[in-house]
Amino acid sequence: MKISIVGSGHVGLVSGVCFAEKGHEVLCVDHDKDKLAKLKRSESPFFEPGMPELLAKHQASKRLHFSDRTEDAVDFGQAIFICVGTPSTERGKADMSFVEKVARTIAENLKDYRLVIEKSTVPIKTGERIKRTMGRYIKGDVNFDVASNPEFLREGSAIEDTLKPDRVVIGVDSAKAESLLREVYKGFDCPIVVTSVGSAELIKHASNSFLALKITYANWLARLCEASGADVDEVVNGMGLDHRIGKHFFGAGIGYGGSCFPKDVDALAHISEEIGVDAPMIRLISDTNKGQLERFYNMIERELWVLNDKTLAVWGLAFKPNTDDLREAPALRLIEKLKAAGARLRVHDPVAMPNTRKLHPDLYYANDPIDACNGADALIVATEWPQYKQADLAKVKATLRVPMIFDGRNCIDRKRVSELGMTLFGVGKEPVKPGE
Ligand SMILES: NC(=O)c1ccc[n+]([C@@H]2O[C@H](COP(=O)([O-])OP(=O)(O)OC[C@H]3O[C@@H](n4cnc5c(N)ncnc54)[C@H](O)[C@@H]3O)[C@@H](O)[C@H]2O)c1
């Protein structure tokens, strides 16, 4: 089947290469010419495991093509996926201008029947709006359908998630749309959940908000643990082994970030209020999450007393491991606060340093995690990369000026820290201190 993708970012490009991997012929469109130039050289514009290999494989197989014109997408694929960004605007409202522009351009160039599929995360009722807008801009008498096919991939394991999803949700309002989407997903071994367009839209926002709520619940428990002497990892482990609760996305730290959770939680609250349903619980997720980083920062400041002129090592910049995506990364907010307080920062991240350098050229970018610790008054862990969990803590101790760690992800080996006589502050846990 011929498939067009408009917006070749983390979702569009991953979908494109995965559809090609499943045997479809795919045209990926993006208006960013630099991105396209890289793609044509089989270079991934962002870090995602497996992406360079699939790009090369399917440019060679001639099942993957690129263009900077949405008009080409309209001519090429019978199914056209909209995968452009839907960032947050005021009070969390999703900015739908990118989606609207693509829908208009598709309509203006439509010559034959096409299925237009929202894969971008959009508020409920967007499908109706796309349909109405397209109806106004179409020239002549051409049929089309609008469907929703929300994306659940996680950056860092996006290709694996897309090729082997837990489920595929398709929101449709015609038999033809359902049959075309079933054709798209013919080679995927997973349940296909068929719903109305509105339900599919809501499934995505509701899923992300639920996961954010789960993380936030663990973070709130961490506060309770800090005040009572309990240990948050013990608590969430004891809870998470219950299958009704589950262990995934259930850990305390410095809060969630990334391009999805913060904006999707806010967008769900906004759309709820817009259609007359109060959303205090959803608003609280976002506020509690922001407070989590503040609490961590305050703990660092309390312990180090004066941050001005102190040298601090920071491990981890991306919003989570296995990505170089910095959107809403808690580490970046932390860095901004530490810099504003006058601290000198020696930072490290396995893949996100080039992107960070563009925003903060004045930091010291370390060659490796140990280099970051060199002469530092403390080490802060902001992203739980596996290499940080496995770091040689004896070397860390020997390299730091003061053997003190602030672990914002509860990923450092507490037993080893204790054996080495170091100090460790975590989230929702008693600190480890020498001699205790
Ligand atoms: N990143 C994720 O993990 C993830 C997961 C699930 C869903 N989503 C959702 O998918 C959507 C896209 O997210 P993303 O992370 O891929 O964003 P992204 O910023 O990585 O990619 C969006 C791409 O669209 C392109 N674009 C914008 N307007 C365009 C236009 N008019 N014509 C052609 N190209 C255009 C941009 O240049 C960019 O390359 C969002 O709604 C997001 O919430 C993201």
Query: Is a pLDDT exceeding 90 seen at residue 127?
Result: yes
Distance 30 CA to ligand 1 centre (A): 10
CA 130-134-137 angle, 5° bins: 145
Instruction: Give the Å distances, CA to CA, from 187 to 4, 20, 21.
Output: 18, 11, 10
- DSSP annotation string for 240-276: HTSTTT-STT---SS---SSSHHHHHHHHHHHHHHTT
Distance 72 CA to ligand 1 centre (A): 18
**Of the candidates 138, 203, 136, 143, the residue with the CA atom closest to the CA atom of residue 167:** 203
Q: What would the pLDDT profile of 157-174 be if each residue is shown by its tens digit?
A: 999 999 999 999 999 999
Q: Looking at this protein, which amino acid is placed at residue 128?
A: E
Ligand 1 lined by 36 (C-beta under 6 Å): no
Ligand 1, atom 7, residue with closest C-alpha = 151
Query: Is a pLDDT exceeding 90 seen at residue 63?
Result: yes
| CB-CB contact of 381 with 358 (8 Å) | no
Ligand 1 lined by 6 (C-beta under 6 Å): yes
Q: What would the pLDDT profile of 325-355 be if each residue is shown by its tens digit?
A: 999 999 999 999 999 999 999 999 999 999 9
Ligand 1 lined by 32 (C-beta under 6 Å): yes
Work out the percent of the chain whose per-residue pLDDT is above 70: 100
Residue 259 alpha carbon, nearest atom of ligand 1 = 1
Query: Is a pLDDT exceeding 80 seen at residue 91?
Result: no
Instruction: Give the Å distances, CA to CA, from 7 to 153, 248, 251.
Output: 16, 30, 33
The beta-carbon contacts of 332-337 under 8 Å, at least 24 apart in sequence, are 332/356, 332/359, 333/293, 334/254, 334/293, 334/296, 334/297, 334/380, 334/382, 334/408, 335/360, 335/363, 337/297
Cα-only R_g, the chain: 24
Domains of the chain plus CATH, in order, are 2-195 (3.40.50.720), 199-436 (3.40.50.720)
Find where tokens 């005021």 sit. 90
Distance 10 CA to ligand 1 centre (A): 6
**Of the candidates 282, 356, 256, the residue with the CA atom closest to the CA atom of residue 315:** 356
Confidence of residue 435 (pLDDT cuts 50, 70, 90): confident
Measured from the Cβ of residue 96, the count of other Cβ atoms closer than 10 Å reads 19
Distance 113 CA to ligand 1 centre (A): 25
**Residue 98 DSSP class:** H
Q: What is the pLDDT of residue 12?
A: 98
**Which of 48, 80, 83, when mutated, tests ligand 1's pocket best, judged by the most ligand atoms within 8 Å of its CB?**
83
Report d(CA 163, CA 170) in Å as an integer.
Answer: 16
Supply 151's token pair: 């994306």
- Measured between its terminal Cα atoms, the distance across the chain in Å is 65
Residue 119 alpha carbon, nearest atom of ligand 1 = 10
Q: What is the pLDDT of residue 90?
A: 75
Ligand 1 lined by 31 (C-beta under 6 Å): yes
The 3-state DSSP class for residue 66 equals strand
The whole model's pTM is what? 0.95
Respond yes or no: is residue 260 known to be catalytic: yes
94: left (phi over 0), alpha (psi -120 to 50) or beta: beta
Q: What would the pLDDT profile of 5-48 be if each residue is shown by its tens digit?
A: 999 999 999 999 999 999 999 999 999 999 999 999 999 999 99
Instruction: Give the Å distances, CA to CA, from 207 to 129, 199, 200, 360.
Output: 22, 12, 11, 33
Q: What is the pLDDT of residue 231?
A: 98
Q: What is the pLDDT of residue 436?
A: 73
Give me the catalytic one of 83, 260, 373, 411. Answer: 260
